[in-house]
Amino acid sequence: MKGSETIPAPSRSASAGEKQPVSPCFTRDEVERFHRDGYIIVRGLADDRMLARMLAVTRDGMAREIEPIEYEADLKYPGAPESKAAAGGRTIRRLKQAHARDYVFTEWMIDPPLLGRLRQIVSPSLVVPLAHHNCIMTKSPQFSSDTGWHQDIRYWSFPRPDLVSVWLALGSEREQNGCLWLIPGSHRMTFDRSRFDSELFFRADHPDNQTLIATKVKAELDPGDVLFFHCRTLHAASRNFTNEPKLSVVLTVRSADNPPRPDSRSAASPEIILPPGEVPDASNS
Ligand SMILES: O=C(O)CCC(=O)C(=O)O
């Protein structure tokens, strides 16, 4: 996927290898940028202990194929093995139900610098719907696939399309290993149904879409970096062309007053209610 621009690091000023203290919340400017662009990156938000624990749980889950798992062959996106019986057929795309795998994923969601930021951009009262994301993405060498342009809300069912996903890099994420690409501001746009295909992917062969796709930016991440993105922000990713898996933890939050529509898939799983609290004062940061 050829790129136009890399999302600049908003808050890291340390020289290589030097860890800077993480501020407790977004600045006012960062909050505005999130609402304008539909995404924002915070560098080094997760601490090393949590990262190490998540990596250990991920490696164990992959090595022992601990269910629930989504295999590349289940989705058959471009590049994926034809079937589970084909070469590479047991390549894992996602370890599902991250929260049920280890307490560290709950610890992560209630980590004050993360929780404070989510209160600023979503709501002071937050809920994690376990039906969506709540997984560890495991983009493996050789048999991973391309994910076309899409908005995550396409199969979700909530009265307000205002959920936010938290994408935490457990390792390096670059174009070569299939980092995410996003289209700035697309969460505020409305699109005719004809611009999407039957599976609600944003059609790359549509001339108007091509103009918009040309504005894409890539989200290059290092371990501990976090991409926050709105559920209407168009995003895509290529397969992994390196020899190492790319591992990322992805969780989604909603405002407590935006519950899933009854009888929908979004309502079919339990949810985690996060501790309510004050919205941090961005002017102090
Ligand atoms: O890593 C990828 O291939 C894309 C993942 C993605 O877009 C998603 O899970 O919504």
Question: What digits encode the pLDDT tens for the residues 157-191?
Answer: 999 999 999 999 999 999 999 999 999 999 999 99
| Predicted pLDDT of residue 237 | 98
Q: Of 167, 235, 246, 251, which is best to mutate to test ligand 1, by the most ligand atoms within 8 angstroms of its C-beta?
A: 235
Q: Where are the domains of the chain?
A: 33-265
At residue 180, what are phi and psi to the nearest 5 degrees?
-75, 150
Mean pLDDT of the chain: 93
Q: How far is the CA of 283 from the centre of ligand 1 (A)?
A: 34
* Domain topology for 33-265: Jelly Rolls (2.60.120)
At residue 101, what are phi and psi to the nearest 5 degrees?
-90, -30
| Predicted pLDDT of residue 21 | 79
**pLDDT class for 22, splitting at 50, 70, 90?**
confident
Whose Cα sits closest to atom 8 in ligand 1?
A: 152
Q: Of 76, 133, 147, which is best to mutate to test ligand 1, by the most ligand atoms within 8 angstroms of its C-beta?
A: 147
- Structure tokens of 216? 């894409």
> What is the per-residue pLDDT across 233-267, written as a single tens digit (0 to 9) for each?
999 999 999 999 999 999 999 999 999 999 999 99
Whether residue 280 is preceded by a cis peptide bond, meaning omega within 30 degrees of 0, is no
The SS3 call for residue 271 is: strand
Pocket of ligand 1 (CB under 6 A): 137, 139, 147, 152, 178, 235, 237
| Predicted pLDDT of residue 249 | 98
**pLDDT class for 283, splitting at 50, 70, 90?**
confident
Question: How far apart, in whole angstroms, are the C-alpha atoms of residue 181 and residue 7?
Answer: 9
| Predicted pLDDT of residue 12 | 43
pTM of this structure: 0.93
Question: How far apart, in whole angstroms, are the C-alpha atoms of residue 30 and residue 20?
Answer: 18
Q: What angle do CA 220, 234, 218 make, to 5 degrees?
A: 15
Helix H or strand E encompassing 199: none
Whose Cα sits closest to atom 10 in ligand 1?
A: 152
> What is the per-residue pLDDT across 113-164, written as a single tens digit (0 to 9) for each?
999 999 999 999 999 999 999 999 999 999 999 999 999 999 999 999 999 9
DSSP 17: T
| Predicted pLDDT of residue 17 | 53
The Cβ of residue 15 has, within 10 Å, a number of other Cβ atoms equal to 7
Q: How far is the CA of 184 from the centre of ligand 1 (A)?
A: 17
Whose Cα sits closest to atom 9 in ligand 1?
A: 133
With a cut of 70, say whether residue 285 has pLDDT above it. Answer: no
Contact criterion met (CB below 8 Å) for 46 and 169: no
